[in-house]
Structure 1
Amino acid sequence: MTFEALDQAHRRKWAAVLAATMRLTRDFDAAEDAVQEAFESALVVWQRDGVPPNPGGWLTTTAKRKALDRMRRADLLARKLPLLVVPEEPGEVIPDQRLRLIFMCCHPALSLNARVALTLRLVCGLPTSEIAHVFLVPQATMAARLTTAKKKIRAAGIPFQVPDDLTSRLPAVLAVVYLVYTAGSVDRAVELASLLASLLPLPEVLGLLALVRLSEARAAARFVDGKPVPLAAQDRSLWDHEAIASALPLVEKALRGGGPYAVQAAIAALHATAATYEDTDWPQILALYDELVAVYPSATAALGRAVALAEIHGPAAGLAEADRLSVDLSQYYLLPAARAEFLRALGRVDEAASADLEAAALAPTAAEAAFFDSRARA
C-alpha cells in the first residue's frame, strides 16, 4: 500500500511539490534534491506511520523543511530570508502548478531540446536514462545536456515567472507533453494536455489532446498477457469507441490550424474509426503523412509514411523508404521492426529475423524485446 501510494504521489504531485519548493530555493538543483529527500523520507515514515491524509501536502512540507535545512547548513539562510514566503502573483494566469512549471522551464533563451529535456526531468520527474531514451541519445549525453541547461539558467539569471505571452512558449510546451506521451506515460500526457487545452484552446493544443486521447482509447488492445499486439491483429472490440467518438470533434477543430499535432491526430482518427485493419483508408493516411513531413520533417514521421507507402505500393517501396532512414533512426527500435515486416513480406525471412533481433536489442521494454525475439525465431 505504501509503495502504491508513493508511486501515485510521484506521478501526480511531483511537479507541484517541486514548484512549491523552487519558490523557496529559487534553484533547480537545491529544490530537486530536497524533493528527492522528501520522497525518500516518505518511504520510511509512511511504512511506519501509514500514508497521511494529504500526501502532497506532507511531501511539500517535508521538502521545504529539507530545503531550509540545506540552506542553514550552507549558511545561506540570512540571504534567502526574503524569499521564504513568496506570495502568489495576483490573478495567477496558470492555476495548475505543473503547467506553471512547464512554462517556466520553457524559456526562449534555452534551446528547444534543452527546454523539453529539462521539463521532462523537473515536471515529470523522469530519470535521466528515460529522457535519454526518448531523445535516442546515450545517458551520459543527456546528463551533460541537463547540466548545461541548468548552468545556463543560473548564469543568465533567467527568471521563473509566467510569461505575458503564453503562445510564445507554446511549441516547447506541446513538445514536452508529446514526448511524455511517446515515452509511454499516456495517462500523464492526457492529464497535462487536458489542462493545457482548458488554458489555451488553440488548434494545435486541441490536436495534441485529441492525439493522446485517441491513443489512450486503443490502449486496452495493445497488450495481451503482457505481450504487445500489432495493430493489424488487435481486437478492436476492446477499444473505447465512446472515447474515440468524443475525440473526433477535437480533431475537426484542430485541423483548422493544420499543424503537426492536428495532422497526427487526423491520422490516429482514421486508424481509430476503421472497422477492421483492411478497412483502413491508407491513401488518406499517406496523404496526411505527406502533409506531416512537409510541416514537421522528422525521421519518425517519415517512418510512419513508409508503413503507409508499403500498404499501398507494396513492401519493396516501404523497405526502400525505411533503409533511407537508417542513419537518422539507428537507435530507434521501430525502424528494424518495420524493416522486418517488409522483408518478411518479400520472402527474405533470414534478413527479417536479423532485423527482428535488432529491434529486440533496442526495444524499450522487456515485453517488446521478447515479442521481437520470438518473432525472429518463429
Structure 2
Amino acid sequence: MKIIQKPSFYLVGGAVRDQLLGRHVKDRDWVVVGASPEWMLEQGFRPVGKDFPVFLHPDTQEEYALARTERKTAKGYHGFQFYTDTTVTLEQDLARRDLTINAMAQTESGVLIDPYQGLDDLTNKLLRHVSSAFAEDPVRILRVARFAARYAPLGFTVAPETMHLMQAMVQNGEVAALVPERVWQEMEQALSESMPARFIEVLHDCGALAIIFPALERLFGVPQKAEFHPEIDCGIHTLMVLQAACILTTDPKVRFAALVHDLGKGLTPQTLWPAHTGHELISKQLVTEWCERYRVPSHYQQLAELVAEFHGQVHKCLSLSASELVQLLVSTDALRRPERFEALLIACEADSKGRLGFEHTLYPQRHFLQQALYSCQQVNVQNIIRQGFKGEAIRQQLYLHYEQALNALIVEQKS
C-alpha cells in the first residue's frame, strides 16, 4: 500500500534571517514541499501568484509558495521558466535564492535548516551568493547592494567572490536588460535603508552604476575647489550628502534629491575644473532625464529638480536682497507648497554638511528662510484687494508687501 506523505511547511527567507539577527520581522513567507495547487485550494488557500503558484493562508493571509526550481531561458529579470512539483525538495528551492543568509528555512516547530551555511555568513557578516545561478538574474546585483545598505551598520560586507561574480555579470551585459520599474523599486527601498550610500558604492564597485546611472558614475573622479570641498571628489561629496540627509530625515524623497542634486558637475569640461559654474540647471536637466527613464514618481522628481536648480541660491540666501528673496520664494513656490519648501531646505542643509570637516557645522540658512517664508505668509492679500487693486496690480502689491516684510527681517538679522 502506497503511503501518501503530508506536505510540509517551512518559514523561509527574510523572516528567518531577521529573526536570527534579532531584528523586527516584517513579513513571514512560507514554502510548501510536497503539495499540489489542487491540494492547496482544498485546504482553503487563495491563489495569488502569476508566474508560479503562490497562495494566501485563509487565516493569517501570509504567503505560501510551492517549492520550485527555475531555469534561465532569456536575458533579464523575466527570462525564467519555473517548475513546481510535489517532488521538488526544500534544498532545491533554497538553492535558487540569491544570498546564503536568505537561503535558510525553519520548520513549524522552530528547527533551523541551513544547507548553504547562511548562519555562518550571518556570524561572519558576509553577503555571499548561494550558487552560480545568481548570475542569471541581474536584479540580484541591486538586491545585494540594497542589503549592503541595510546591514552596513552591523558591519556586513559583500563577499569577494560575490563581488567578482557581479563584475562578470556587468561585463556580460546582463545589467543592460534590467527593467526600469524594477531598478526604481530597488533604489526607492535602498533610500529608506540605514546607509543608502552603500547601495551606490556597491553598484560603483561592481561597474553597474556606469550602466544604470551613468550621470551619477560620472561624478567620481571629478574635482571641486578644496577650499569649499575638502573631500574634493564630486562622487565622494554626493555620498556624504546622501548620508547627511539620512541624519536629518527619513523621507526618501529628500534623500533622493540629495543624491542627484549635483549631477551637472559630471559634465563640466575638464578645462574648467575645479570650478562648476552654472552646474545647477544642467543638474536639473539630468534629474529630469533620470526620472523619465526610470519612471520616478512625480513628487520625487519635482523636489529633486527644485533642489538641483536652487541649492546654490539657498546657500547664498543670507546675502540676498529682499527682492531676491521674494524671487527665490516665488520661484520655489514656497508660499503654496511650504512642506515641499521645507524638504528643499533639509536637502540643502545636507549638501552643506556633506563635506569633509563640515559635518557638524550649523546651517543658519535653513532657519532664516523659514523665517522669511513665515514673514511673507503674514501678508494678507485680502487687505490689498480691499484697497481696490485688481488683476496684475494685486500681484505687484503683494510682492511689494513681501519685500517690505523681508527688509524688516534682514534689518532684524543684522541688529
TM-score scaled to structure 2, two decimals? 0.35
Which has the larger share of helix? 1
Larger Rg: 2
Which has the larger share of strand? 2
